[in-house]
């Protein structure tokens, strides 16, 4: 039997040597961290390295995988003009396949191996939830999470380094709910919800205003592409106004099923699922099957808007994005997802600018909390950033889609979570234009 342990000999010797070495260092444990004036990770005199995780593969990749390409194009644009305070922005993008386990792995890689200064724009509710505590524990700012869940900013005490960016789903639900209560008080409302934070938070908001108008609630599971049973459920209860909180592919799927079952309610898709360009391109081919082609596919559908999109080509912001994309983009067209990424990148550049020459993580967080509400940018309504709230954009307007263009039905309405009132925005954010050169200055 002895031959089985042959080969172990040298290994054991090596181990013994290694042990002897390490043992020499043993003694009492040192409890104080020698904290000197060391720069935060990811910052040098001429660079700042940030990271982000996105679904570049898998079922969530379509559409969403374009967001970082937009952000990257804008950072390149800024870098070309000399960067911010002399620092070039290096953006490391990792794929997590929309799988929280992978998010945890690649975020670890960003923090420990790439030593990023902060994560910016990382996407997804379940995915970012898996690393929120980790990033806060490690002291890495988790900035401008691409998701409308309330978690990104409503709990500053426990997650002091986490910031949202887009309007949260509850506020959106409230704005939509109030609009329906005021303008369609007799409608029989059906809710079509994605079965996660998106649907849940939104339902909370909507119910504040139209609780008694709701006749049916149907939930679909993301990943299950057969939504016929859910749409049939709405139809069976005779809902004539469907408020849908879903991702873009489910907008297309629900439209196809409605066509099949002859269901013709008024559709109201939340912003997240209403990208006319994407949905239109998805439905385009079915024009022979009597679905109106491309951008007209969603004609008459209502939705909301919080940044100018590809449909308003004359908007000075969209003109800037087009220029950025033409100069620094990869292959492909400028899309609303890329605009989303650029708008987010713009806000981060504002934060960098505001944090000043001596860039530290604490300084950056402080700068966002202090000045965030004042920043002018592509967003139609101001940010809510303060020492008490890290929530992002405060509002949006209701629009009706016509030929792929959103015709405003309301002014920009702003609100907050809980029972905060809905008011008309008076900041003038919706009418501003980008500064000369396209890079924010403080």
Chain residues 207-226 in contact with other proteins, contact rule CB under 8 A: 219-226
> What sign does the CA torsion over 99, 249, 121, 170 have?
negative
Between residue 316 and residue 335, which ones bind other proteins under the rule CB under 8 A? 330
Q: Binding of other proteins at residue 251 (CB under 8 A)?
A: no
Minimal distance, residue 331 CB to other proteins, in Å:
8
Which listed residue (139, 289, 300, 418) binds other proteins by CB under 8 A? Answer: 289
Q: How many angstroms from the chain centroid is the CA of residue 241?
A: 27
142 binds other proteins, rule: CB under 8 A? no
User: CA-to-CA distance for 250 and 183, rounded, in angstroms?
Assistant: 26
Distances, alpha carbon 439 to alpha carbons 79, 89, 317, 335, 347, in Å: 10, 13, 12, 21, 10
Residues 226-245 that bind other proteins (CB under 8 A): 226-230, 232-233, 235-236
Site for other proteins in 63-122 (CB under 8 A): 63, 65, 68, 93, 95, 97-101, 104-105, 108-109, 111-113
Stretch that binds other proteins, among 76-84, 278-286, 307-315, 419-427 (CB under 8 A): 278-286
| Contact assessment for residue 257 and residue 265, using Cβ atoms and an 8 Å cutoff | no
Residue 428 C-beta: closest distance to other proteins, Å: 37
Question: What residues pair up with 413 in beta bridges, in sequence order?
Answer: 396, 424
- Could you tell me which stretch among 12-20, 73-81, 181-189, 317-325 binds other proteins (CB under 8 A)? 12-20
Instruction: Using alpha carbons, select from 171, 143, 165 the residue that is nearest to residue 378.
Output: 165
| Contact present, 390 and 136 (Cβ < 8 Å) | no
Nearest distance from C-beta of residue 28 to other proteins, angstroms: 8
CB of 44 to other proteins, least distance (A): 20
Contacts (Cβ under 8 Å, ≥6 apart) of 248: 63, 272, 273, 274, 275, 278, 279, 282
Q: Mask of contacts with other proteins, 153-192, x by CB under 8 A?
A: ----------------------------------------
Q: Give the nearer residue to other proteins in terms of CB position, either 111 or 241.
A: 111
Q: Which stretch binds other proteins (CB under 8 A): 21-29, 36-44, 373-381, 396-404?
A: 21-29
- Least distance between other proteins and beta carbon 324 (Å): 18
How many residues interact with other proteins (rule CB under 8 A)? Answer: 85
């Amino acid at each position: 039997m002895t031959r089985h342990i042959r080969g172990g000999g040298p290994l054991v010797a090596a181990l013994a040597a290694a042990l002897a070495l390490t043992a020499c260092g043993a003694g009492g444990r040192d409890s104080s961290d020698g904290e000197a004036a060391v720069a935060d990770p990811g910052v040098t005199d001429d660079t700042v390295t940030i990271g982000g995780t996105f679904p570049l593969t898998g079922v969530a990749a379509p559409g969403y995988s374009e967001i970082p390409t937009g952000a990257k194009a804008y950072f390149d644009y800024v870098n070309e003009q000399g960067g911010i305070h002399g620092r070039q922005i290096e953006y490391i993008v990792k794929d997590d396949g929309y799988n929280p386990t992978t998010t945890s792995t690649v975020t670890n890689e960003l923090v420990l191996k790439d030593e990023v200064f902060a994560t910016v724009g990382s996407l997804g509710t379940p995915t970012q939830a898996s690393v929120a505590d980790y990033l806060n524990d490690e002291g890495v700012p988790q900035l401008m999470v691409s998701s409308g869940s309330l978690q990104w900013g409503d709990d500053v005490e426990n997650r002091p380094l986490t910031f949202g960016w887009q309007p949260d789903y509850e506020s959106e639900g409230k704005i939509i709910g109030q609009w329906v209560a005021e303008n369609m008080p007799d409608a029989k409302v059906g809710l079509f919800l994605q079965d996660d934070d998106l649907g849940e938070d939104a339902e909370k908001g909507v119910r504040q205003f139209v609780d008694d108008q709701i006749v049916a609630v149907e939930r679909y599971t993301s990943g299950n592409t057969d939504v016929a049973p859910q749409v049939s459920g709405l139809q069976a209860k005779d809902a004539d106004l469907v408020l849908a909180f879903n991702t873009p592919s489910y907008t297309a799927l629900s439209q196809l099923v409605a066509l099949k079952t002859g269901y013709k309610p008024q559709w109201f898709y939340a912003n997240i699922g209403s990208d006319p360009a994407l949905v239109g391109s998805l439905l385009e081919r079915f024009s022979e099957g009597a679905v109106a082609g491309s951008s007209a596919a969603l004609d008459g559908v209502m939705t909301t808007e919080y940044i100018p999109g590809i449909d308003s080509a004359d908007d000075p912001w969209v003109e800037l994005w087009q220029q950025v994309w033409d100069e620094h983009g990869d292959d492909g067209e400028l899309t609303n997802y890329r605009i989303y990424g650029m708008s987010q990148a713009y806000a981060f550049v504002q934060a960098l600018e505001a944090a000043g020459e001596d860039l530290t993580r604490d300084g950056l967080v402080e700068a966002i909390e202090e000045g965030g509400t004042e920043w002018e940018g592509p967003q139609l309504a101001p940010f809510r950033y303060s020492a008490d709230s890290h929530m992002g954009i405060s509002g949006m307007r209701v629009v009706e889609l016509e030929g792929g263009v959103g015709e405003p039905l309301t002014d920009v309405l702003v609100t907050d979570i809980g029972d905060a009132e809905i008011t008309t925005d008076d900041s003038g954010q919706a009418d501003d234009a980008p500064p000369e050169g396209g890079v924010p200055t403080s």
